[in-house]
């Protein structure tokens, strides 16, 4: 693959021009029209290109989820009045898209993520091998002497290498064999995908396809359906809480690892991101700006709500008690 294809270069040029027009406009209607053009016609195409490349082989719903995260991040940045204008908006879009994909892979594909880290370490700490940034956020691996190459191996070349690789689990032997067969640099993500296939490393959940027969897992399916139904019931009760209790509960909602538990409603399809924003009575832009900060600690939340930290705690406790009278959310919260 070449460093930068002509269609992408043309897209980034048009995107930057649109961004500069958006920065200069002061008329609300023109501002909204340019915002829609910038996000829907330009940024979305670049983000889709990156996401499809990074999440190749995954279900379209996964790509859509990441795309939505990117959209919210970009919308928050463009609507922010405190941020300085960007010098290179297409580069910012690319960074946001790459980061969103990396975070998705870290959370959803821990085994592949671990393999990628091992490959990175191998390339950076083995004499004669190297890992370098060919273009922003795009990493190539190969022999050190290949750093000046302008093209990397195509996927078809790597697929042809698959049957000729040695029968070994040794990572160094496999990596050097790939480079020898490809005779040119290999994009890191393509290399990891090939190695994951060879080594049988997978985090994937099997998708249901037409005529695909599965073993009898009715008990597992029933538990998934039951859990989603429970979440739906919980969400219906949460929406009935007073606004202050809703905010105190949801904005601080965290999982066992301290992560954003509110995302569970979105990831399971119980509530879309716009619906989450509506339930908290925030604009989509404000909610997008808060999303990456979740969960919010009590002190920061108190400042947001204009109350004391103890009042936040009391509001959340009242919300939990009210929910407990209608259902048992203990396992979810």
Q: How far apart are CA 290 and CA 79, in angstroms?
A: 13
Cα separations in angstroms, 14 against 19, 31, 89, 277: 9, 17, 11, 32
Which helix (H) or strand (E) segment is 139 a member of? Answer: strand 138-143
What pLDDT tens digit does each residue of the chain (333 aa) get? 444 455 677 888 899 999 999 888 866 667 778 888 888 888 988 888 888 877 765 566 778 878 888 888 888 888 776 778 888 998 889 888 888 888 877 777 788 888 888 999 999 999 999 999 887 778 899 999 999 998 888 888 888 888 899 988 899 999 999 999 999 999 998 899 899 889 988 765 433 333 333 333 333 444 545 666 788 888 888 999 999 999 999 998 876 656 677 877 876 778 877 888 899 998 877 887 777 678 888 888 888 888 898 998 989 998 888 888 876 544 444
The pLDDT of residue 175 is: 94
The pLDDT of residue 50 is: 85
The pLDDT of residue 226 is: 61
The pLDDT of residue 329 is: 44
The pLDDT of residue 122 is: 92
Q: Which residue do the tokens 């016609």 mark?
A: 41
Which helix (H) or strand (E) segment is 5 a member of? Answer: none
The pLDDT of residue 84 is: 82
The pLDDT of residue 27 is: 64
Q: Which residue do the tokens 């994909």 mark?
A: 101
The pLDDT of residue 270 is: 83
Q: How far apart are CA 118 and CA 192, in angstroms?
A: 10
Q: How far apart are CA 245 and CA 274, in angstroms?
A: 19
Q: What is the second-level CATH architecture of the domain 6-108?
A: Orthogonal Bundle (1.10)
The pLDDT of residue 216 is: 39
The pLDDT of residue 173 is: 93
3 state DSSP class of 253: coil
The pLDDT of residue 6 is: 53
């Amino acid at each position: 693959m070449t460093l930068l294809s002509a269609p992408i270069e043309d897209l980034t040029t048009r995107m930057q021009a649109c961004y500069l027009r958006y920065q200069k406009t002061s008329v609300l209607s023109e501002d909204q029209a340019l915002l829609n053009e910038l996000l829907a016609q330009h940024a979305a195409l670049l983000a889709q290109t990156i996401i499809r490349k990074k999440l190749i082989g995954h279900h379209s719903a996964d790509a859509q989820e990441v795309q939505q995260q990117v959209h919210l991040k970009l919308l928050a940045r463009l609507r922010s009045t405190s941020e300085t204008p960007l010098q290179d908006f297409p580069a910012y879009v690319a960074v946001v898209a790459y980061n969103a994909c990396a975070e998705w892979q870290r959370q959803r594909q821990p085994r592949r993520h671990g393999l990628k880290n091992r490959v990175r370490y191998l390339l950076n700490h083995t004499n004669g091998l190297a890992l370098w940034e060919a273009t922003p956020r795009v990493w190539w691996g190969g022999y050190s002497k290949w750093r000046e190459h302008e093209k990397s191996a195509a996927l078809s070349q790597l697929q042809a290498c698959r049957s000729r690789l040695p029968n070994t689990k040794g990572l160094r032997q496999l990596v050097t064999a790939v480079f020898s067969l490809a005779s040119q640099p290999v994009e890191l993500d393509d290399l990891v995908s090939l190695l994951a296939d060879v080594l049988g490393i997978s985090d994937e959940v099997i998708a249901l396809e037409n005529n695909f027969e599965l073993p009898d897992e009715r008990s597992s399916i029933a538990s998934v359906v039951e859990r989603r139904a429970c979440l739906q019931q919980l969400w219906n009760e949460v929406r009935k809480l007073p606004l202050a209790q809703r905010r105190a509960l949801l904005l601080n909602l965290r999982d066992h690892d301290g992560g954003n538990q509110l995302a569970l409603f979105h990831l399971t399809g119980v509530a879309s991101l716009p619906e989450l924003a509506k339930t908290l009575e925030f604009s989509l832009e404000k909610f997008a700006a808060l999303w990456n900060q979740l969960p919010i600690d009590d002190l920061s939340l108190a400042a947001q709500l204009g109350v004391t930290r103890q009042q936040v705690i009391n509001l959340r406790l009242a919300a939990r008690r009210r929910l407990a009278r209608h259902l048992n959310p203990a396992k979810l919260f």
